Amino acid sequence: MRIRLIPLATAVLCLPLFALAPAAEARAGMGSSLGSRGSRTWSAPPRTSVTPSWTRPMDRSMTPRTPSYGTAEPSMGSGFNRPAFGGGMRPPFAARHPFLTSLAGGFLGAGLFGMLSGHGFFGGFSGGGSFFGFIFQALLVALLINFIIKLWRRSSSTNNGPTTGFTPANGGASPFPNQPQATPAQDVTLTPEDYQSFQQLLLNVQAAWSAQDMASLQRMATPEMVSYFNNQLSELTSRGARNIVSQVRFIRGDLAEAWREGNITYASVALQYSAVDVTTDSMGTVLDGSKTEPQTITELWTFLRADGRGNWILSAIQQAG
């Protein structure tokens, strides 16, 4: 009887823990860090009064990772493979001329075998010890070595020319010409109208997400973000669930950074807002969240705009720590 009561007591003690468990994050983005921030995608955004601690790096992005020195480099799963001998380097002579290398190795190996067996350095070839045989074999080896040296010098002289198919710029370029090159960024100043656009996009994106209105999302977000939203909504539908984000109320915001790359302007803004975030099944039964209790959410949203045309659109969402 005592043994049977142990699992029951354990379950009772765990009930408060389940009651205190936070509601699942199923709003637009589903609590993940997604999207791109131009050349700053993999750089930590500056801290703000709204996000004083840290911002979680991207969980998913179509922008390749770039090392600290600014040269584009392929990331895991980006579809680019490193060349076997580096960007513009040619393979060594032994790799390009295996027959000659093997032949020279054969001469050397035979000579060493002759020395070890007591027949002299060239005894491995003929076993004879005559003086003329020695001279003849020495001439053959000398001619072979001279031929190999000439080939090596000829191949070395061709290594000085470009081999990657493109001309380096500004002292060097990426060995992967299809990768985006780092663009000098310029800080920009935003207007009050820009901040109003960010607040309105926050409300409109959440409304379109709740209505599963992909056409509206396509007008308010980049194709990359729309693809993430579409995958997340499809995942909910496959589980027979639906997420509704309602009563969205903007609380406060703070600019992390705004910059321009070419003709594209980026703005990363820390947003704090409250919303009722609930996930239900097809019958309206609550699976996660609450239909009445709002929760406070803090995220970093990045927007972009083509200078001179178009409106601000969403390009990334990152979670705040």
Supply the CATH classification number for the domain 25-68+185-319. 3.10.450.240
Distance, in Å, from the CA atom of 182 to the CA atom of 70, rounded to the nearest integer, reads 6
Distance, in Å, from the CA atom of 116 to the CA atom of 294, rounded to the nearest integer, reads 87
Quick one: residue 118, left, alpha or beta (phi over 0 = left, psi -120 to 50 = alpha)?
left
CB atoms inside a 10 Å sphere around CB 260: 17
Distance, in Å, from the CA atom of 191 to the CA atom of 252, rounded to the nearest integer, reads 16
Q: Quick one: how far is CA 318 from the chain centroid?
A: 15
Distance, in Å, from the CA atom of 74 to the CA atom of 67, rounded to the nearest integer, reads 10
Distance, in Å, from the CA atom of 23 to the CA atom of 276, rounded to the nearest integer, reads 11
Distance, in Å, from the CA atom of 74 to the CA atom of 96, rounded to the nearest integer, reads 27
Distance, in Å, from the CA atom of 60 to the CA atom of 58, rounded to the nearest integer, reads 5
On the CB side of 3, CA atoms within 13 Å amount to 0
Pairing status of strand 34-35 against strand 286-289: unpaired
Alpha helix stretches (DSSP H) within the chain: 2-20, 93-96, 98-116, 123-126, 131-157, 192-210, 214-220, 223-238
Q: Enumerate helices (H) and strands (E) in the chain, giving the number of each.
A: 8, 7
Tens digit of each residue's pLDDT, the chain (321 residues): 454 544 444 444 444 433 333 445 679 999 999 999 999 999 999 999 999 998 999 999 999 986 543 444 433 333 333 333 344 444 555 555 554 555 455 544 545 445 444 555 445 444 545 555 666 666 777 777 777 777 666 655 444 444 333 333 333 333 333 333 444 678 899 999 999 999 999 999 999 999 999 999 999 999 999 999 999 999 999 999 999 999 999 999 999 999 999 999 999 999 999 999 999 998 999 999 999 999 999 999 999 999 867 799 999 999 997
Q: Where in the chain is the domain with CATH 3.10.450.240?
A: 25-68+185-319
Enter the pTM of the model.
0.60
Residue 37 per-residue DSSP state: B
Contact residues for 108 (Cβ-Cβ < 8 A; gap 6+): none
Distance, in Å, from the CA atom of 16 to the CA atom of 10, rounded to the nearest integer, reads 11
